[in-house]
Amino acid sequence: MGVLTLNELKQGIMHLLYPRLCEGCNRQLLEGEEVLCIGCATELPETGYHAIAGNETEQRFAGRFPFVRATSYCYFTEDGLLQHLLHGLKYTTKKDIADFLGKRFAQQLAVTDWISTVDEIIAVPLHPDKEAARGYNQSHLLCLTMGAVLHKPVSEGNLVRVRATESQTNKNRAERTENMAGAFGLKDKKGMEGKHILIVDDVLTTGATIEACALAVLEAAGARVSIATIGITV
């Protein structure tokens, strides 16, 4: 039996003091498992939309603005596994969840034919006060992992909120669209000209926020957009 290295000894002590637990079932994770155990990972309600033209995500945006493709990784249900994961990412600083979900989603996108035409990935911006309080934008974390897997650059700070908006809670689709209209803008339109931009967000509900972002990006001459969200409400 070999002698443990100092690093291996430290890792062993850390695992004893702070065991890595599955976010789904709370069982201790095995080596090679991240965030979810193998069993819980198979329970993620994946949509398969990345390979389906005319999927539900695309239908929600149809006729609202021109786009190349739109897709969502998983179905988002109240008290479901994805809601639990995103709650941990957004409110308990479990940033490894962004790596886990972003990697799995990007691996699906990597096998599509349309993703090769994407030039840049961009996150839906958070309200500055909310991002300051949280310390990060969860959608931007997703972008960083997805960009690394897909070998695509991630836009930093070009798409920004240009006016404050009211909370979207308890608003219907029309009210949400009106609330978000003109809420975003580009600092550098020239930098987006002629590019195919993949807009990433965590959850798609009515799509009002993403629509406002897409319209801002499309103000750049010759720009095209596609949409990718981790969840879609059902």
> What CATH number does the domain containing 132 carry?
3.40.50.2020
Task: Let me know whether 29 and 125 are in one domain.
Answer: no
Q: Is the pLDDT of residue 8 over 60?
A: no
The tokens for 18 are: 């702070």
Task: Let me know whether 122 and 187 are in one domain.
Answer: yes
* Cα angle, residue 54 at apex, residues 171 and 211 outer, rounded to 5°: 35
Task: Let me know whether 4 and 81 are in one domain.
Answer: no
Q: Is the pLDDT of residue 1 over 50?
A: no
Task: Let me know whether 1 and 107 are in one domain.
Answer: no
pLDDT tens sequence across 182-219: 789 999 999 999 999 999 999 999 999 999 999 999 99
pLDDT at 181: 75
pLDDT tens sequence across 45-58: 999 999 999 999 99
Cβ neighbours of residue 224 closer than 8 Å, sequence gap 6 or more:
66, 67, 68, 195, 196, 197, 218
Task: Let me know whether 119 and 221 are in one domain.
Answer: yes
Q: Which domain holds residue 191?
A: 46-233
Task: Let me know whether 92 and 116 are in one domain.
Answer: yes
Q: What is the pTM of this model?
A: 0.88
Task: Let me know whether 57 and 98 are in one domain.
Answer: yes
pLDDT band of residue 134 (cuts 50, 70, 90) is: very high
Phi-psi label, residue 72: left if phi above 0, alpha if psi -120 to 50, beta otherwise: beta
Task: Let me know whether 39 and 155 are in one domain.
Answer: no
The number of domains in the chain is 2
Mean pLDDT of all residues belonging to the chain = 90
Read off the pLDDT of each residue in 148-156 and give the average, rounded to a whole number: 97
